Amino acid sequence: MRTLIILLLISLLGLSTRAADQVEGVWEVLEGCRLVSASYNDADSFRVKHENEEYTFRLYFVDAPETSNTYIDRVREQARYFSIPEESVTDTGKLATTFTQNFLRGEFTVITKWEDARGSSRHKRYFALVQKQNNYLSVELTRAGLVRLYGMPTRDSWPGGVTPRSFLGRLKNNEREAQREEDGIWALATGSMQMAGLEALQASTVASGIGELSTGSHADMGTIPLKDRLNVNTATSAQLQELPGIGKAYAARIISARPIESIDSLVQIPGISNKTLEGFRHLIITEDPPPPAFTVAFYQAELDRYLNTEVTVQVASVSPSQLESPETFRAVTLQTAYQGEAGGSITAYIPDEYYDSFINYYREPGREFKGLLYSRDGEIVMVYVRK
């Protein structure tokens, strides 16, 4: 009996120690993690084993299509977002889940602050980034066109990571590339607002002469928008090798020299001369530009500053949402954009008495909406504040 009590105390002490280690708001890097089979696993939320403990993690930054009609309101909302049939949402969700399962074979690293991801599941979930061999799962899912930029961003840099703004910029560039190539769900979403916005952006780029690289002076070459240049601090080896004069060996040296503080400092890398640098200076940046102002992406990039405050977004389009709403409110989905550049979408909760007039008013694109930026069940939303 005494032995049993001692063992029980040891067990309880072990659990208490483990629980104490989970300090919300403090970054923790869990190496050597493995995927655990669970019926609720999908592309952006899954069960993980680390040492002798198991946890469920939800990816920061991205949202994957649902895999079934269990949460039909989410399926319908995603179908409207991508302008595709509901069955296409769940079909793509299953493809995305398979992609994640393949990515997570073997050991991987989870980076988390133990922030509560909540959601509709009865299983306790924490937001996290997942990394394997220097590749982030969220980046690879975005590049494959299997998620949207719709999830909770981090509020600060994580160990060994970049700023949330830079990471969002990297994800946005990958999303644009997937849209251009019509990869993954974008092959089906050709009628969506996101694809329409991409076409408009490409048309304006071609019309302004920016789409082609100039072979003239550096003043001419400097007209390439910052958002279309390559970030040498986040680019892959293959992307770096597309720069003039940069092969596999030089790409590896650039990656080893990170973080690169300035473009001029690249000449300190063996083999990269001033002449070589001048050949691609106009094509690169060292830090991603901020997302467009007055958009969801802009405020998410600095969430600590703007959360629980009233912010103003420029609305590109509005559509009804079937998501469950607080009492006396109804949900809508807002697409935001500024000066022709898309800036993400967000769920907004509108008081019942203003709902119809709100929908009618914001059917005209370019109008501004001011609301409270708020976290509800782990999702960043906006709320129309009753005066």
Same domain for 306 and 277, yes or no, is: no
**Within 13 Å and on the Cβ side, how many CA atoms surround 71?**
16
Domain range enclosing 81: 19-187
Residues in the chain predicted with pLDDT less than 50, given as ranges, are 1-20, 200-222
Put simply, whether the predicted model's pTM sits higher than 0.75 gets the answer: no
Cβ pair 30, 24 in contact under 8 A:
no
Q: Both 252 and 367 in a single domain?
A: no
Q: Is there a single domain that holds both residue 109 and residue 146? A: yes
| Domain assignment present for 202 | no
∠ at Cα 383 (338, 141), nearest 5°? 60
Give a yes or no: residue 1 inside a domain. Answer: no
Tell whether 157 and 259 lie within a shared domain. Answer: no
Looking at the structure, tell me whether residues 71 and 149 fall in a common domain: yes
Strands 108-116 and 125-132: antiparallel
Same-domain check for residues 271 and 301: no
Give burial (CB, 10 Å; 0-12/13-18/19+) of 12: exposed
Same domain, 360 and 339: yes
Q: Domain check: are 176 and 73 in the same one?
A: yes
Residues 103 and 225 in one domain: no
Which of 145, 164, 187 is the last residue in one of the domains?
187
Residue 308 lies in a domain: yes
Peptide bond into 289 cis (omega under 30): no
Our count of domains for the chain comes to: 3
pLDDT for 197 equals 53
Residue 301 forms part of a structural domain:
yes
In this structure, the answer to whether residues 253 and 346 fall within a common structural domain is no
Q: Are residues 30 and 168 in the same domain?
A: yes
| Residue 290 domain flag | no
CA distance 8 to 42: 35
